[in-house]
Amino acid sequence: MQGKPGTNRPIWSASSTHPELAAALETTLKDIVDPEINFNIIQLGLVRDVTISEEQVVIRMILTTPFCPYGPAMLEATRQKAEMVLERPAKIDFGMDAWDFSMMEEGLMDDWGLY
């Protein structure tokens, strides 16, 4: 899957079908921060894909660790913010893909001293 320029994140399906709505959703989801890592879910690359239709929005999302103690709250906050900004029901398609540091936005790992 091709990445979004300037990031390590995949391009969402909604970016081609509903670009204005996808941009508004991305901006809104930047408010959801993983409290353990102190980066938002967009910076971390946790939102892997977004599909928008007239009936609903489906957000494919993963967590940094399978047993993230803040996971349920972040998933619910993501769903609620999506419904608020897109004005339609939202569903979280929770993926079990393993997250790794390469999914973070470029340059963030420098702050951690990893590169």
Instruction: Decide if 7 contacts 20 (C-beta within 8 A).
Output: no
Q: What global pTM score does this model have?
A: 0.88
Q: What are phi and psi of 57, to 5 degrees?
A: -120, 135
Give the chain's length: 115
Query: Which pLDDT score, from 0 to 100, does residue 108 have?
Result: 75
CB neighbour list of residue 16: distance below 8 Å, 6 or more residues apart? none
Q: Tell me the domain boundaries of the chain.
A: 18-102
Instruction: Decide if 86 contacts 21 (C-beta within 8 A).
Output: yes
- The pLDDT tens digits of the residues spanning 89-112 come to 999 999 988 998 888 887 776 655
Q: How confident is the model at residue 79 (pLDDT cuts 50, 70, 90)?
A: very high
What is the distance between the alpha carbons of residues 56 and 114, in angstroms, rounded to a whole number? 39
- Write the CATH number of the domain with boundaries 18-102: 3.30.300.130
